[in-house]
Structure 1
Amino acid sequence: MANVQSSNLGYPRIGANREWKKALESFWSGKLEEHELLSKLDDIRLDRLRIQQEKGIDLIPVHDFTMYDHMLDMSVMFGLVPQRFKYDGGPVPLSVYFAMARGSQGAAACEMTKWFNTNYHYIVPELQDAKPHLTVNKPLEAYREAKSSLGIEGKPVLVGPYTFLKLSKGYTPDQFESLLDQFTDLYAVILKELEQEGVQWVQFDEPILVTSLTKDELALVSSVYKKLHAAAPAIRIMLQTYFDSVSHYVEIISLPVQGIGLDFVHGLDGNTEQLLKHGFPEDKVLGVGLINGRNIWRSDLDAKLELLDTLSQKVKPSQYVIQPSCSLLHVPVSTAHEDKLDPVLRQALSFANEKLDELTLLTSALNNGIESVSEQLKEHNQAVAAMNQSSLRNNEQVQKETSKVVGLNPTRALSFEERRKAQQKKWNLPLLPTTTIGSFPQSTEVRQARKNWRSGEWSAEQYETFLAEQTRAWIEIQEDIGLDVLVHGEFERTDMVEFFGEKLDGFAFTANGWVQSYGSRCVKPPVIYGDVEFVNPMTVKETVYAQSLTSKPVKGMLTGPITILNWSFVRDDISRELVAYQIALALRLEVNALEQAGIEMIQVDEPALREGLPLKREDWQSYLDWSVKAFRLSTSSVKDTTQIHTHMCYCEFHDIIDSIRALDADVISIETSRSHGELIGSFEEHTYDHGIGLGVYDIHSPRVPEVDEMTQMIKRALSVLDPELFWINPDCGLKTRGRDETVAALRNMVAAAAQYREVLSVNQS
């Protein structure tokens, strides 16, 4: 039998009951002293290690825990503290650490962005005028803690030097190589100290290696790892990739490291094909990423064992290390509290702890023979089969309707230019029409009312009366402000995806399925477990009521199919494309219901469209094609005079402008106030000939911008956009803002629009 080890790449930080989140927020609110916070975090960190130890994992990651974000940890370890935080050197104080993450009175927080194509956000390292230096060897501290406290021979985890620098900002391309040398020297110091301590394995996360790199970039990667190997030759480096197949397989497996970790879930086809074609070095171990670290379903372990058997044509099983496809920080901790779910569904779920069980089961099968775990494998695979075969996943009507649209190219009956003329005649809106993105402030009163209703303290009638009062009040406010197109405010909605998932068949909601989004912010994504089907109208009642209160148009507000897809845990037995079409068909019925009820401006938001882009640029078009198709499935059935709006967050517009235009929305609004200049530059290079609203003020700040500031935004936009197509709006929804600041900002926005209409009128005369 083989001597195969199991390994984990990272474990959730938040605790089984979000103890981590609660401790952080208690500290920030002044309820915990610093020493109390650190004590609680010590307990959570050691508990995570203990769970992995008890599960029988051989290579347990250390230094994957964080007080906010692992990239921020790397920044402060290297002394990369922007000058505005007034850091004087040495170990970075906790106050500075959290100020970098969250901002302080005297300094804006560091930028935050998505970790590759996941829904996790990291703090972007800032290198302007930076002088990288090692403030403290955190991986060494983490290794010592695990060994002394629990007897664990831990595997320190660091973001690799190439990925770390690529994800940083504040340097020019010609500075890259010099900075890479500086960081490589610091990594070498860390490795030498770990080597002296007797550390056996170190995991360097280099997910950047699955993106489209050039030969010159690969040469730099090679030079980095040659230096690191020379610095600490006794250390065994596991070069870990994930989220896709590596771009240059032959070059990657030739790097001077002792292990290569490959993703055989999201990079299954590419990595398998390359390995079978080119083989694998006999002097390295292969980290086989078998268990999906980004989704919540039990694995088909028979299929995993078959894959391992296939790989054994080129790799000796004794070279295997069995591991997840990526860190488990992207999944919830445990299914232990999910007893309210359908039993068949619950048995099909696998959160972090259950994924560790899957790893040890596979490892045992390889080391001791399948017969030794045959009963466990049988029970496991029966749960997978039961879910796939159950009525929960086999709605023949939905599947039939979905199959019909696979080959279709849904389009509106008339071109945009023809629709525009009909819509102008119908709506008779002024030049530069004003509107908002959809949501209005979710005050403490709104949240408490929802809580009262969900707990049973309020009846449905009481709650609906409250919602109607809120809607009426905000319709009156919008009319008083002078907005041209109104919204009902979305007071009934907690989350833009959850709201629709609760009303569609095929969705489930966990009791404790929390995952970290950023910092202490945790989200509980819906679970798309089965065929998605429209049940009853979801938004018609509230929107029609709002429309009855005003003669101005009220927009229907929906979340688009791709955003619902990308912000959910999605079934893995059919393609994401087919799931998107199912959601789109359900939303199409909602769009039709709104139109039939007299709502003929309908906004279908897609803020997450770009987030789902594959990491390799050559794979973008396929995703964009079916994403655009799903959106048009949702929206193309309406009358020519019905105006379809959409909303997106700023997304490097120029990269996907053809696809955004192909959505064929009558009006698109884009979150741009923090990147207005960049987007204007995009429009200088690319023409956009549909209706468009570039956010004229930033809703993420409580600050109320002055009228002149907004008119300058409008002026810049109209230097490259047709005023006949331009709308005036905030850059995103107003759910998180306060009432007074919202009203004040919108009054200024309407005044800015009126002022600029005068400018255009004078210019035209």
Structure 2
Amino acid sequence: MTTLFPTTSAGSLPKPLWLAESEKLWSPWKLQDAELTEGKKDALTLSLAEQQRAGIDIVSDGEQTRQHFVTTFIEHLDGVDFDKRETVRIRDRYDASVPTVVGAVTRDKPVFVADAGFLRAQTDQPIKWALPGPMTMIDTLYDAHYGSREKLAWEFAGILNEEAKELQAAGVDIIQFDEPAFNVFFDDVNDWGIAALERATEGLTCQTAVHVCYGYGIKANTDWKKTLGSEWRQYEQIFPKIQQSSLDIVSLECHHSHVPMELIELIRGKKVMVGAIDVASADIESPEEVADTLRTALQFVDAENLIPATNCGMAPLARDVARGKLAALTAGAEIVRRELATSR
């Protein structure tokens, strides 16, 4: 990865209308069986082409083969009963009906490895693959077996490590762990959450990332953000420990948020995916808006460590909006790239 300010998407991208209903999370598939398998591959190919057309440097699958960034992975594990459901509070924010852990959780076969291999075969560009983090996984389940959030998280960490190693072998360059729960359960994050995440990355030689955001642009999240006041300082409570961790990259939300940009200083030395695209709005940023965010971030992160990105996934947005936002991201990065080249 030699490009200065290599651009990427933090997470999901919208699915085509023929595969799933648009602008919605948890949208059911419109295809079945062999047609669904083929349709997912077609969608992944299309998502890659759209990223490339927009000029994205570090590409991903756009999460085209999964309905949800956490649940799809869990669906492939033993020990979780999706028919036995309980209502729990997700990230202390909203109630949801979730599956129940009824026995020891195990992974009998790879979940995303074939999809990653399919993506790898289509491009020579660096590819990034997202997995749910252990703490966010336990926050989307009802535990009727382990009786300990920490113990269940460590079980998931070992399972994630198995998947991550196979993704690396399939040619993935960056494995990203999505941990929005890190922005809520601060004591647990510092006591054992980051250690569990490091267990998930154990033995990897590819780059590793942790994505900590304020959530998708859905009502439950936007309503919560309104309660956080004029400054969002949640990162301040977890960044010092993350800075000391073995993780290579930290992904955070910046644009149109109330996160004080100087908090990035707390992870000086890490690569930083700076969220320069607001995923909670259908308004498409101008390249200059993106450039402004990146210029501010450069006060607190070395240029060679800055990765322009989106704040979070864009699955709930219309496809034309997401395409426009990706194009703005790359154009804004190019503005700052040229400015830096001129000043040197």
Q: Are 1:566 and 1:611, in contact at CA under 8 Å, matched by a contact in 2?
A: no
Partner of 1:662: 244
**Which residue of 39, 42, 66 corresponds with 1:466?**
39
Distance of 1:725 and 1:502 partners within structure 2: 35
Describe how 1:472-487 pairs up with structure 2 within 5 A. Answer: 472-487=45-60
Describe how 1:527-606 pairs up with structure 2 within 5 A. Answer: 527-571=100-144, 573-606=146-179
Query: Normalising by structure 2, what TM-score?
Result: 0.86
Shift of 1:688: 2.0
Distance of 1:749 and 1:623 partners within structure 2: 31
Counterpart code for 2:236: H
DSSP-derived class of the 1:543 partner: helix
DSSP-derived class of the 2:19 partner: helix
Counterpart code for 1:709: E
Distance of 2:179 and 2:90 partners within structure 1: 19
Kindly tell me: are residues 671 and 739 of structure 1, through their superposed partners in 2, closer, same or farther at Cα, counting changes over 3 Å?
same
Unaligned regions of 5+ residues in structure 2, if any?
A: 22-26, 215-232
Partner of 1:624: 190
Does structure 1 residue 674 correspond to structure 2 residue 228? Answer: no
**Which residue of 195, 201, 224 corresponds with 1:635?**
201
Distance of 1:442 and 1:696 partners within structure 2: 22
Does structure 1 residue 703 correspond to structure 2 residue 269? Answer: no
Counterpart code for 2:212: M
DSSP-derived class of the 1:608 partner: helix
Q: Are 1:509 and 1:526, in contact at CA under 8 Å, matched by a contact in 2?
A: yes
Q: Deviations over 1:572-604 (max 9, x none)?
A: 654221111100000000011111222232111
DSSP-derived class of the 1:728 partner: strand
Q: Deviations over 1:665-707 (max 9, x none)?
A: 211111222335x3313245x3521000221121111110111
Q: Are 1:539 and 1:557, in contact at CA under 8 Å, matched by a contact in 2?
A: no
Q: Are 2:182 and 2:238, in contact at CA under 8 Å, matched by a contact in 1?
A: no
Partner of 1:728: 308
Partner of 1:56: none
Q: Are 1:566 and 1:612, in contact at CA under 8 Å, matched by a contact in 2?
A: no
Counterpart code for 1:715: R
Shift of 1:747: 0.7
Partner of 2:70: 497
Counterpart code for 2:278: D
Kindly tell me: are residues 512 and 570 of structure 1, through their superposed partners in 2, closer, same or farther at Cα, counting changes over 3 Å?
closer
Distance of 1:579 and 1:489 partners within structure 2: 28
Partner of 1:757: 337
More helix by share: 1
Shift of 1:473: 1.0
DSSP-derived class of the 1:526 partner: strand
**Which residue of 295, 313, 322 corresponds with 1:742?**
322
Q: Deviations over 1:71-104 (max 9, x none)?
A: xxxxxxxxxxxxxxxxxxxxxxxxxxxxxxxxxx
Partner of 1:608: 181
Q: Deviations over 1:122-160 (max 9, x none)?
A: xxxxxxxxxxxxxxxxxxxxxxxxxxxxxxxxxxxxxxx
Q: Are 1:485 and 1:553, in contact at CA under 8 Å, matched by a contact in 2?
A: yes
What is the percent sequence identity of the aligned residues?
Answer: 26
Counterpart code for 1:601: I
The worse-fitting range, judged by mean Cα deviation, of 597-606 and 690-699 is 597-606
Distance of 1:495 and 1:656 partners within structure 2: 25
Does structure 1 residue 688 correspond to structure 2 residue 268? Answer: yes
- RMSD value, Cα: 2.2
Distance of 1:491 and 1:683 partners within structure 2: 31
Number of residue equivalences: 319
Describe how 1:116-195 pairs up with structure 2 within 5 A. Answer: none
Counterpart code for 1:558: L
Counterpart code for 1:658: P
Select the structure of larger CA radius of gyration: 1
Kindly tell me: are residues 749 and 536 of structure 1, through their superposed partners in 2, closer, same or farther at Cα, counting changes over 3 Å?
same
Counterpart code for 2:68: D
Does structure 1 residue 717 correspond to structure 2 residue 297? Answer: yes
Partner of 1:523: 96
DSSP-derived class of the 1:530 partner: strand
DSSP-derived class of the 1:434 partner: coil
Distance of 2:244 and 2:111 partners within structure 1: 27
DSSP-derived class of the 1:660 partner: helix
Kindly tell me: are residues 517 and 646 of structure 1, through their superposed partners in 2, closer, same or farther at Cα, counting changes over 3 Å?
closer
Shift of 1:530: 1.9
Partner of 1:648: 212
Distance of 1:539 and 1:585 partners within structure 2: 16
Describe how 1:378-527 pairs up with structure 2 within 5 A. Answer: 427=1, 429-447=2-20, 450-453=28-31, 458=32, 460-510=33-83, 513=86, 523-527=96-100
Shift of 1:488: 0.7
Counterpart code for 2:271: G
DSSP-derived class of the 1:720 partner: coil
DSSP-derived class of the 2:83 partner: coil
Kindly tell me: are residues 452 and 436 of structure 1, through their superposed partners in 2, closer, same or farther at Cα, counting changes over 3 Å?
closer
Q: Which has the higher contact order (CA 8 A, sep 6+)?
A: 2
Unaligned regions of 5+ residues in structure 1, if any?
A: 1-426, 614-619
Kindly tell me: are residues 585 and 516 of structure 1, through their superposed partners in 2, closer, same or farther at Cα, counting changes over 3 Å?
closer
Distance of 1:447 and 1:660 partners within structure 2: 36
Query: Normalising by structure 1, what TM-score?
Result: 0.40
Q: Deviations over 1:404-449 (max 9, x none)?
A: xxxxxxxxxxxxxxxxxxxxxxx3x211110001211135433259
Kindly tell me: are residues 570 and 611 of structure 1, through their superposed partners in 2, closer, same or farther at Cα, counting changes over 3 Å?
farther
